[in-house]
Chain A
């Protein structure tokens, strides 16, 4: 019986089918586990773009301490990071560098736009050197409004990102 099914001609098809069954069975719990481990160790890349970095620094400080929510202090090497917190205004000089940083990061990667300037250009809507928001260069996951956002707002934004990661399909 099994010998009929598993001939050298259709072995590939059989193993492929078996794999599909396995993926269907394991995908959901495994994806959940992968996402769970991802969302409690978000590594933001150390790129400051404007003045919101002050509040980002305060959020890493002892009073607000984002580390207890699984967002670890800004980290130097972008090859080991999976989160870009765009801390404020993106000027025309900074925009290509920001995209370069994003492109060099490994998948999966998430973007948080922090501050009014990163969302729409904010106070600098009519400046000649400021981009009107970073939507044109990066796919943004969470917008954190404020000028600058308080550390609590940043923490809330990052928790929203964690909610989002939980619901995403693990890649």
Chain B
């Protein structure tokens, strides 16, 4: 090996004696399923190098062996608490490949399911953010309130978190009778409930002093780094695919995308909460405009074959834009499936934002990026 010079990036680097290297994770209360290799000088972070891959399960390779329908269960596992949204672009893509037209009622039910799922995801994220900041009440409240929507999703789909609800050509089955009334009742309660979070969390002076001005990301850098979702919208870019590139029934709904300008950890933690309030509005509109009856899926012939084509579809998930690139080569199995996930795209912010930050601010900045390690690893 010594005869051939190593390519750049594979060379061994020399480290100063002052600088200490810390491995944060994978067994660490402030890391999740990943490791961040942090170099610190005193209390200040000199460099941070994220090391994901602890949950890399090779789902893109597995998708090449299964047909278009069998791919559904394992492609929703990256984010099981946001499983409708993570499956959404794949279903949209396969529908375009197979030329399927989704019935009108299924479009609205998809919107409802994905908005419920977005709230469930954000509540879990918020609960963990509370733990990261040492705010135990903020773990208990969202963890309890998300069960309301999990109940609704369970009534809708039959499973607590892994729904496998969306299939190419519609949704798996219709909702039970009297579903709309139950849903609206819970949406109203949920909205009232999450408005109370402001008093204990978002207007809390301790939280504000902890997260304000921590990990500032300017608008230009947010665009240059290609961030997405709440990280992007907290930096003042009004970009939400539900408005910009409406899919299914989102085009007929009136959506106000929350945007903040500060770009710090506080703004990034507030955007998902505003998203939840907006989701409640979207669910109400969708229930109102939804056709009250009708078919919810088109019949799919067994083992459908895609043409010699490729699609790239994207939706707005709880973590930002989620793209799915499906290449088909005249076979029942896809030739290549690639999930371009929001968490992986926001990973690039981590070394950038943590540099120069205090070590104590690391969990506050890291989790405010709306990052779910399992999704980033796929």
* Set of chain A residues within 8 Å of B28, measured between Cβ atoms: 46, 76
- B57:A89 contact, CB within 8 angstroms: yes
- A61 adjacent to B77 (CB under 8 Å): no
Enumerate chain A residues within 8 angstroms of B127, measured Cβ to Cβ: 57, 61
Q: How far, in angstroms, from A48 to B162 measured CA to CA in the complex? A: 18
Which residues on the A side are within 8 Å of B91 (C-beta)? none
Closest to B154 in A: A150
Decide if B55 touches A89 in the complex (CB within 8 Å).
Answer: yes
**B352 interface contact, C-beta 8 A:** no
A78 to B29, CA, bound (A): 10
A51-B77, A51-B80 as given contacts; A93 in contact with B56, CB under 8 Å:
yes
* Minimal beta-carbon separation of B349 from chain A (angstroms): 22
Within 8 A of A (CB), among B139-161: 139-140, 143-144, 146-147, 150, 160-161
Stretch in contact with the other chain, from A1-9, A123-131, A156-164: A123-131
Q: How many angstroms between the C-alpha atoms of A74 and B127 in the bound complex?
A: 14
Cα A97 to Cα B79 with chains together (Å): 23
**In the complex, what residues of B have CB within 8 A of residue A150's CB?**
160
Interfacial chain A residues near B77, Cβ < 8 Å: 51, 123
Q: In this assembly, does A101 line the interface, its C-beta being within 8 Å of a C-beta of chain B?
A: yes
Residues of A within 8 A of B161 (CB): 54-55, 148
| A128 & B81 in contact (Cβ 8 Å cutoff) | no
Find the A residue at minimum CB distance from B375.
Answer: A51
Contact B33 A128 (CB under 8 A): no
Question: Which chain B positions have C-beta within 8 A of A45?
Answer: 27
A50 interface residue per 8 A CB criterion:
yes
Given the contacts A58-B143, A148-B80, A78 and B62 also touching, CB distance less than 8 Å? no
Interface hits, B23-62 → A, CB 8 Å: 26-29, 32-33, 53-59, 61-62
A123 touches B74 (CB 8 A): yes
Q: Is the CB of A129 within 8 A of B26?
A: no
Interface of B is mostly: helix
B19 to chain A, nearest CB (A): 24
Interface of A is mostly: loop
Interface residues contributed by chain A, number (CB under 8 Å): 35
- Asked if A49 contacts B55 (CB within 8 A), the reply is yes
User: What is the minimal beta-carbon distance from B228 to any residue of chain A, in angstroms?
Assistant: 21
**B322 in contact (CB, < 8 A):** no
Beta-carbon contact of B58 and A128 below 8 Å: yes
Cβ-defined contact, A129 with B33, below 8 A: no
B159 to chain A minimum Cβ distance, whole angstroms, is: 9
Contact B58 A130 (CB under 8 A): yes
Q: State whether the Cβ of B73 lies closer than 8 Å to any Cβ in chain A.
A: yes
CB distance from B134 to the nearest CB of A (A): 12
Residues of A close to B140: CB separation below 8 A: 61-62
> Is B54's CB under 8 angstroms from A94's CB?
yes
Tell me if B144 and A48 are in contact (CB < 8 A): no
A62 to B7 Cα, complex, angstroms: 53
Interface flag for A53 (CB, 8 Å) = yes
Does chain A have a CB within 8 A of B312?
no
Which residue of the partner chain, among A48, A55, A76, A130, contacts B33 with CB atoms under 8 Å? A48
- Looking across the interface, which residue of chain A has its beta carbon closest to that of B29? A76
Chain B residue with Cβ nearest A121: B57
A35 contacts chain B at the CB level, 8 A cutoff? no
Contact status B54-A61, CB under 8 Å: no
Report the bound CA distance from A148 to B80 in whole Å.
9
- Taking CB atoms, residues of chain B closer than 8 Å to A47 are 26-27
A123 close to B73 (CB less than 8 A): yes
**Is there a chain B Cβ closer than 8 Å to A147's Cβ?**
yes
A49-B55, A57-B143, A124-B62 are contacts. A97–B27 as well, Cβ < 8 Å? yes
Min C-beta distance of A51 to chain B, whole Å:
5
Q: How far is the CA of A62 from the CA of B145 in the complex (A)?
A: 9
Interface of chain B residues 55 through 78 with chain A (CB within 8 A): 55-59, 61-62, 65, 73-74, 77-78
Closest to B52 in A: A93
Chain A: minimal CB distance from B86 (Å): 11
- Measured between C-beta atoms, what is the minimum distance from A147 to chain B in Å? 7
14 contacts between A and B (CB under 8 A): A50-B55, A51-B78, A51-B79, A54-B81, A61-B146, A89-B57, A91-B53, A91-B57, A93-B54, A129-B56, A129-B57, A147-B162, A148-B161, A148-B162
Task: List the interface of chain B (C-beta within 8 A of A).
Answer: 26-29, 32-33, 53-59, 61-62, 65, 73-74, 77-81, 124, 127-128, 139-140, 143-144, 146-147, 150, 160-162, 374
Contacts beyond the supplied A61-B140, A63-B147, A97-B26: 4 A-B pairs with Cβ under 8 Å: A60-B139, A62-B143, A93-B53, A123-B77
